[in-house]
Amino acid sequence: MNGKRILLGVTGSISAYKSALLTRLLVKAGAEVQVIMTESAQTFITPLTLATLSKRPVLSAFVSNTDEGRWNNHVELGLWADALVIAPASAHTLARCAHGFCDDLLSAVYLSARCPVFFAPAMDLDMYHHPATVDNLRRLESFGNRIIRAEHGELASGLVGEGRLAEPETILQTLETFWADQPGKSSFDSFSVPPSPGPLPVANRRVLITAGPTQEPIDPVRFISNHSTGKMGYALAGAFVRAGADVTLVSGPTALAVPHPAIRRINVQSAQEMFEATEAEFARAEIVVLSAAVADYRPAFPASQKIKKTDDTVTLELTKTTDIAATLGARKGRGQWLMGFALETDNEQANALKKLHAKNLDWIVLNSLRDAGAGFGHDTNKITVIDKDEQTHEFALKSKNEVAQDLVALVADSLNKHEP
C-alpha cells in the first residue's frame, strides 16, 4: 500500500463512523488518502474528523465553499487515484452508480475513474437483499468493479443478518491482496472495462475447494492437528475466482483472510465438520479441489473436561476419520472433476498414483517434503501433477500464487480436451 493514492468515498450510512478507522489504517499503511463525502454522509461523521486523519481537506462539492471557490476537478481526481474505494456504499449510491446518475462530486469521480473501483455496501438486512440492490450490485460487477461484500452480524436496526459494512481491516486486506496479485500494474492500466474471463473454460463453473488443517479435540483445551497454514488452498480459491469461477471455500482453522470478496467461505474445525460441509456442497460443484490437510485419525473418546497431568504417560485411542476424497470420488458424477493432494516423504510418485486411482480422482497434486521450499508453511511450492491418464506434469519451485495459476490452467486445458 506504500505510496498508493486512494480516493475514499463516504456516503450516508450509520456505518460511516468506520470510515475514520479505515482512513487511519490506509494512512498507516503508507497510502495517500483523499476523502470525498456525500452531503448525507456529513450528517453521520464530520468532515473535520476525516480531514484530520487523512491530512487533506475533505471534498464534497464541485466548487469549494471554503477555498476561494476552488474547482474540484472530478476528471483530475479520477486520473490521480490508484483506487477508488466507496465505503460505506449506501443503497442510494449503489443505485446511482449502477445507472450512471451524475449529480454530485462522488458520482462524477466514479464515472471518470480509470482506476480499480471497490464498493463496500452497508445497509439494513432487507435493503441489502432487495432484488433492486442485488441487481445493482450485479450491474456494478459487470462493469468491472469489485464488491467487498457486506458482513453478517447485528445491524443498527436491531436485526441480525447481512448488511454490516466489512470491517476496515478486511477492506485494507482486500486492497493489499489486489495489488499483490497485480505485479507491475500501473494506476493507468485500463480498469474501465470489465475484465474478460478469457478463454478459460473454468469461467462461471462452480468450484469447491477445501483448505487448511483440521483440529481433532482431545479435551476442551487440546487437539490433534498438523502444520498446514491453508496458503495453497487460499491461493487456489483466489486463482479460480479471478478466472471467473463461482468459488466456495471450506476452510479449517487458519489466520488467512479470504483472498477475494466474491469467495464464499465456510469455516469448519474438525475432519467431520469438513466432511459434512464439503458433502453438502458437492452435488452442485463441477470442479472440486481437496487441498486441505485433513486428519486421518481423531480421538475416539474426547474428554468433556480437561485431562489432568497425573501419570508419566497417557494413552489415546484413535479412530479413523471419514476419507473425504474417497467418499466424493465414489459419488462423482458425469461432469464433475476432482483434484486431490498428496504430501509424501518416500516413494512419492508410487504413493500418489495409488491414491489417484483408489479415490477416483482426475488429478493428484504431489508435494514432497524432501523438496526445499515445498510443503507446509512456505510461501512457495514445488509440485508434480499426475492426471487420470497417468500423464505427469512437473513444475519448478514457484510462489503458491503462481502454482495456483498453473493448476487453474491445467484444469482448463483438461476441460478443453475432454468436454465438447
Which residues are annotated as part of the binding site for CTP? Answer: 296, 306, 341, 355, 359
Task: Round to whole Å and give the CA distance between 10 and 87.
Answer: 6
Count of other CB atoms within 10 angstroms of residue 302: 16
The grid coordinates listed for 224 are 490433534
Q: How far apart are the first and last CA of the chain?
A: 44
Backbone angles phi, psi at 164, to 5 degrees: -65, 140
Count of other CB atoms within 10 angstroms of residue 305: 8
Amino acid in position 10: V
Contact between 411 and 337 under an 8 Å Cβ cutoff? The reply is yes
Known binding-site residue numbers: 296, 306, 341, 355, 359
CA geometry: angle 101, 195, 7, nearest 5 deg: 50
Task: Round to whole Å and give the CA distance between 235 and 120.
Answer: 23
- For 63, which DSSP code? B
- For 17, which DSSP code? G
Contact between 274 and 268 under an 8 Å Cβ cutoff? The reply is yes
Q: What is the DSSP string of 281-313?
A: HHTT-SEEEE--B--SEEESS--SSPPP--SS-
Contact between 287 and 207 under an 8 Å Cβ cutoff? The reply is yes
For the chain, the residue count is 420
